[in-house]
């Protein structure tokens, strides 16, 4: 990641992320008023600094002899966007043959499909909104049949990719809650918790009725995450909050790179409200 002078983290271009990198870079250059440097050659070499900072060392060989930002941009596009029938066939097969297997991450699955949509748009083969919806729903495993059937009654014009992904994420949250509840029931069966905990706290009594002289060992369970007693790590509220925050960040990242391949003179910026909360620490 490369941090710009505005504090925005820019992912460097590698051999595998051009479709996402180009969208982010184009939006960033337009917002900073630098896109004209790419569209209107020639420009001095110093104007290339912003683009060069966002390119990984492995990709510098393609722009080492370029003088203007426009030449560098077009050279990178020529390398990563191959306008051949074979490349289009390969990309199309990857898109239509993609299937989510039970247990796979829904966020990663949608991110892969979004990347394919974007690559086709960059090659002049944008996928329509309705077709995107049909491809996403067709790629799900059988466990989503009930959700897919419920969407069949929605009018075609209202069945957008944003609406469908929202329903899928809501379903994922419900499944996570059910899984967590089941784990809690297995750990603490109903009707036995209070008795077991009470036995752990009560000292052993001698045959005469008096308590043993030995010190009583408190067997109350303690969480390794928040150090509180009364629950285990799997039931920790703090851990659950971190997991929910991580899922939201993944979804925002997927939604951010979603594009329809159409250019507009105006620039719209989608801000999740977390622009000022970037932190390099995972658990902050």
- Residue 102 CA to residue 114 CA, distance in Å, equals 20
Q: Are 240 and 247 in contact (CB under 8 A)?
A: no
Does any domain span residue 108?
A: yes
Distance of CA 60 to the CA centre of its chain: 28
Q: Which of 55, 41, 124, 49 is nearest to 85 (CA)?
A: 124
Q: Which of 82, 69, 66, 1 is nearest to 29 (CA)?
A: 69
- 109 in the same domain as 68: no
Last residue within a domain, chosen from 62, 80, 98? 80
Does any domain span residue 272?
A: no
Does any domain span residue 106?
A: yes
Provide the pLDDT for residue 219.
54
Instruction: To the nearest 10°, report the CA torsion of 173, 178, 181, 186.
Output: -140
- 94 in the same domain as 165: yes
Backbone angles phi, psi at 221, to 5 degrees: -70, 145
- Residue 145 CA to residue 93 CA, distance in Å, equals 23
Does any domain span residue 213?
A: no
Provide the pLDDT for residue 226.
75
Q: Are 160 and 129 in contact (CB under 8 A)?
A: yes
- Residue 242 CA to residue 103 CA, distance in Å, equals 21
Q: Is 9 helix (H, G, I), strand (E, B) or coil?
A: strand
- 58 in the same domain as 89: no
Does any domain span residue 210?
A: no
Provide the pLDDT for residue 207.
54
Last residue within a domain, chosen from 54, 80, 106? 80
- Residue 197 CA to residue 194 CA, distance in Å, equals 5
- 171 in the same domain as 105: yes
Q: What is the pLDDT along the chain (284 residues), one digit of tens a residue?
A: 544 444 456 778 787 777 778 878 878 888 888 777 666 655 555 556 667 777 787 887 787 777 777 788 788 877 777 667 787 888 899 999 999 988 889 999 999 999 899 888 888 889 999 999 999 999 999 999 999 999 988 887 888 999 999 999 999 999 888 888 777 777 666 555 545 455 545 555 555 554 445 554 455 566 767 777 767 767 777 777 777 777 777 766 655 445 444 444 444 555 555 555 545 555 54
- 62 in the same domain as 90: no
List residues bridging with 211 in a β-sheet.
205
- 138 in the same domain as 102: yes
Provide the pLDDT for residue 196.
47
Q: Are 18 and 62 in contact (CB under 8 A)?
A: no
Question: What is the tally of structural domains in the chain?
Answer: 3
Segments forming the whole domain that contains residue 127:
85-176
Q: Are 112 and 98 in contact (CB under 8 A)?
A: yes
Last residue within a domain, chosen from 146, 176, 206? 176
- Residue 273 CA to residue 276 CA, distance in Å, equals 8
Rg over CA atoms, the chain: 27
Q: Are 233 and 224 in contact (CB under 8 A)?
A: yes
Q: Are 133 and 160 in contact (CB under 8 A)?
A: yes
Its pTM stands at 0.48
- 100 in the same domain as 61: no
Provide the pLDDT for residue 32.
81
């Amino acid at each position: 990641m490369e941090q710009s002078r505005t504090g925005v983290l820019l992912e460097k271009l590698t051999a595998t992320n051009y479709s996402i990198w180009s969208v982010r870079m184009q939006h960033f250059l337009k917002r900073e008023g630098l896109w004209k440097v790419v569209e209107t050659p020639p420009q001095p070499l110093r104007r290339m600094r912003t683009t060069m900072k966002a390119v990984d060392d492995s990709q510098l060989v393609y722009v080492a002899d370029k003088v203007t930002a426009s030449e560098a941009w077009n050279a990178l596009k020529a390398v990563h966007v191959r306008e051949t029938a074979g490349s289009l066939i390969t990309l199309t097969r990857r898109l239509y043959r993609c299937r989510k297997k039970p247990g796979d991450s829904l966020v990663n699955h949608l991110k892969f499909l979004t990347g394919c949509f974007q690559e086709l748009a960059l090659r002049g083969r944008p996928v329509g909104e309705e077709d995107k919806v049909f491809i996403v729903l067709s790629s799900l495993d059988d466990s989503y049949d009930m959700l897919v059937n419920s969407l069949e009654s929605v009018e075609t014009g209202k069945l957008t990719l944003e609406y469908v992904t929202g329903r899928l994420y809501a379903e994922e949250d419900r499944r996570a809650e059910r899984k967590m509840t089941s784990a809690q029931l297995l750990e603490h069966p109903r009707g036995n918790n209070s008795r077991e905990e009470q036995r752990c706290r009560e000292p052993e009594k001698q045959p005469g009725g008096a308590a043993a002289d030995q010190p009583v060992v408190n067997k109350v369970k303690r969480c390794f995450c928040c150090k509180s007693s009364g629950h285990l790590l799997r039931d920790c509220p703090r851990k659950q909050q971190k997991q929910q925050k991580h899922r939201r960040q993944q979804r925002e990242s997927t939604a951010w790179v979603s594009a329809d391949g159409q250019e507009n003179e105006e620039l719209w910026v989608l801000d999740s409200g977390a622009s000022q909360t970037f932190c390099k620490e995972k658990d902050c």
